[in-house]
Chain A
């Protein structure tokens, strides 16, 4: 059926004829995205029309409600077992898309819980106007005022864009989705209540580099259109397999497309924005980016490379293998030298991108399933880890310098215990999701004969364990400094987010079978 839709859309001339025939749209299949986009639009209106005192509650319930409804719809669609390419083949709702959309929704809920927390800091972690000059009177003023509620529609747009991104079956749709989820993120990065200058810097850096990468992406799309005469992934595949086009256009286009995608997943050498942006952005937004953006970006990467560019016709593996190796090594080695917890987690997220790439490069069903599983498992750990970071505070807000974490285990054993558990998960110690997910991707890669990748993977994991261990040592085995920051009591929302993250990490480590099963069933792409 998918093929029929595709064939029909291909048969129709791309030129606008007098009688434009609208493509069929499977509304149920795209309902989750529609709900979320709708909620985002309603949120924009709510920000304008709902009275100030109710706004926060309305917005938070709106976005969480929409995410839950979307999740319910995703489950319904998945239960129906349909795999379609709809809207003229521009959107593919298949196993991977549904799994990734579900992941974005679930991780999104947890991230929104962190974003909505207001008891740690008066008015929440965000200010209303990002553009005010840091340090100016107006800026100091807004630091005392309750934060903007516009963040919630922005987050909704971002999450909806991510859902579209993982199901986009056409390069143009992919580009639109990329922009839809990136633009809100650029803005959200600049809204931190504390350390405004750092926050603005991160927003500008992310925006500029993101804009560059989008331009690369778009240029790649143009070149590929020149090669294939179409932008649909299925059509591209046919053209690639036919192999009679201009291969210069193909290679250049593919390379530029890859730059855009690898930028979003933060693979070396397109990773340089990550530490600065992760550090400067408000921590809940960092959590959102580390968990959900990664899911979305890898989802698209998987789809584009698997569907449109079969390795039999164009072998991009050597390049991506080199990138994966560089990503794992650079991420792990640079993480060792970090002195700021957010930068440390940023480099760790780079290294983790390398591990997911290992799964992608297996180019097998097991590899896709392993990558999907990894993304979910990693998302929960990283959300919880950044959740803990929001709790360790002093008078100036979050105390992110590692030296400030010394002796934390004595002051707040529970928080330190939770963070230790998360660090063990990052390090891949068994009985945490970190181990099962690493096993999933490495076994898939080795099953496909990628021995080098796996050896680099395990060795870099050992290197990466050192920074995690250093944090644990600092918390437990070091003497508390005079000015050890206090650990704020988590509000209900943060506590819930932490509980979900830790529980999921433990469950996926001890009993991963159900989620593995889900991922294994969700490996078939349609085009």
Chain B
């Protein structure tokens, strides 16, 4: 069955359908959008169960001619890394749609919100949900593409729906945030465009050039060429991820975006950056990756510490969560560029777990902000007394973010640090300090917002007395369940990820110096073969 093309197209069809629904019936638009996103989820689950662990590296391959003059094909394929990311998108989108149920409504907006009512009344509910589905379409495309041109198309197209989600439906300073997001990303992707073209030009003589990822990955490029192309790709990914020092757009975008869009932005969209490094930088430019790895590790490490320190100082919940993400992205980057299978597997697992944990954190923060009408921590205080269930969810999300053992991010962070320690001891030791800071910013945030004496101003806000309703339970419950489940038993996900990571490391010709984990022992043998077939598969 052609899973990937259907999976890609389904949200696009959904977006078109929802966009054409009448404005007068917002409920219908929401239900249709939810229906489409659930259909995508069902398909993703079916795809996961059809994925052969230990089989080919790239599975579900489909290819259709698109622009033959340039050797561009609509090639879709997924390895284990892409599969888990696709599953994450498919899972998060319906949850976000459910969480954003009233975000675009005309009347039932946040009371006392800082945006004027004039803008509120002209918002279009179908447009909001169509944009969410359009975003899902581009994100699935990015992860499912196995053709560099196609990947770039989705990579850049992704900007458009997110730009409008932030710009049209965001909070204060949304224009500034939307434009900043767009321009930062565009500069990155323009450099990547040059590198994509360069890659194509170096892939062969005119007429034989190709964009096919598997073919390109099997090629050896001149080390000097590799370095330039690597930089083109890497900068685009570093902006997207975002890595220090390209990160300054994220707090603005995350702070201004509606909570649901922010959850997707940080939970999935930014993972395209780290995914791109794993899928494109490492296998296509192995020499350059090794050459630049020390610099990337330093940048990532600076990012871990710097963003964590900034997060401690934030008084805005959404900006704080954004900074914590930049810090975590640093750790993911360390995991990718440590070049050990433990660290690599940990990094990919972290991408998933971070999506779950930060997604939940953003959604819960969104619920808090919607009730209070303000995102400032100082406007809360003792709110846990009014909202016990919501603050419970907030605490779980927070603890997951600081990688408490028992929650899913702990496993991944541990793998990253262990895997890094075996090759770069200093990096691992300094990186561990980031966890200490994580405890500081999360717990201090929770303490200031939810604990202590009740802020008397909260009593006068009626919405603050409404705890989670059924819809919000439906938003929170699956994420909490997954965070706890994967914290205790991450094997199903690791089994999917590990062969792909092994194959990626084989691409750059690095072998693990340290003994392998129990998981990787079971699947390592298969991945070598998978790698071979992927390379032979032209």
Contact = CB atoms under 8 A, between A and B. Distances in A.
Interface of A: 364, 366, 410, 424, 427, 429-431, 435-436, 438-439, 442-443, 446-447, 451, 454-455, 457-459, 461-462, 465-466, 469-470, 473, 476-479, 512-513, 516-517, 520
Nearest to B195: A458
A463 to B, nearest CB: 9
A430 B152 contact: yes
B269 interface: no
Contact of B186 (A366, A427, A513): A427
B160 interface: yes
Contacts of B191: 458-459
Contacts, number: 88
Given A454-B194, A454-B197, A517-B69, A473 B179 contact: yes
Interface centre among A455, A462, A512 (most CB of B within 10 A): A462
A458 B168 contact: no
Interface of A is mostly: helix
A454 B193 CA distance: 10
Contacts of B182: 465, 469
Contact of A439 (B154, B159, B197): B197
A346 B183 CA distance: 22
Interface stretch (B26-34, B198-206, B496-504): B198-206
B66 interface: yes
Given A410-B122, A429-B160, A473-B167, A458 B193 contact: yes
Given A443-B70, A466-B183, 12 more contacts: A435-B153, A443-B201, A447-B206, A459-B191, A461-B190, A465-B182, A469-B179, A473-B179, A477-B167, A477-B168, A479-B118, A517-B69
Contact of B183 (A438, A462, A477): A462
Q: List 4 A-B pairs, minimum CB-CB distance, nearest first.
A: A430-B153, A458-B190, A462-B190, A462-B187
Contacts of B167: 473, 476-477
Contacts of A477: 167-168, 174-175, 178
Interface string B9-53: 000000000000000000000000000000000000000000000
Given A446-B201, A455-B194, A478 B67 contact: no
Nearest to B170: A477
Given A443-B200, A458-B190, A429 B119 contact: no
Contacts of A517: 69
Contacts of A455: 194
- Range for the number of chain B residues in contact with chain A: 35 or more
A226 B476 CA distance: 84
B197 A443 contact: yes
B156 interface: yes
B456 interface: no
A513 B69 contact: yes
B247 to A, nearest CB: 18
A384 to B, nearest CB: 18
A516 B69 contact: yes
A108 to B, nearest CB: 26
B221 interface: no
B178 A513 contact: no
Contacts of B152: 430
Given A439-B197, A454-B197, A465 B175 contact: no
A206 B168 CA distance: 41
A429 B197 contact: no
A513 B206 CA distance: 17
B186 A431 contact: no
Contacts of A478: 175
A427 B118 CA distance: 30
B427 interface: no
Contact of A520 (B69, B156, B178): B69
Given A429-B157, A446-B198, A476-B168, A513 B67 contact: yes
Contacts of A454: 194, 197
A515 to B, nearest CB: 10
Contacts of B66: 513
B394 interface: no
Contacts of A479: 116, 118-119
A459 B174 CA distance: 25
A364 B160 CA distance: 34
Nearest to B155: A430
B178 A473 contact: yes
B179 A446 contact: no
Contacts of A461: 190
A516 B67 contact: yes
A431 B187 contact: no
A164 to B, nearest CB: 30
Nearest to B152: A430
Contacts of B183: 462, 465-466, 469
Contacts of A465: 182-183, 186
A446 B194 contact: yes
A465 B193 CA distance: 15
Contacts of A443: 70, 197, 200-201
Given A439-B70, A465-B183, A478-B175, A459 B190 contact: yes
Interface in B38-96: 66-70
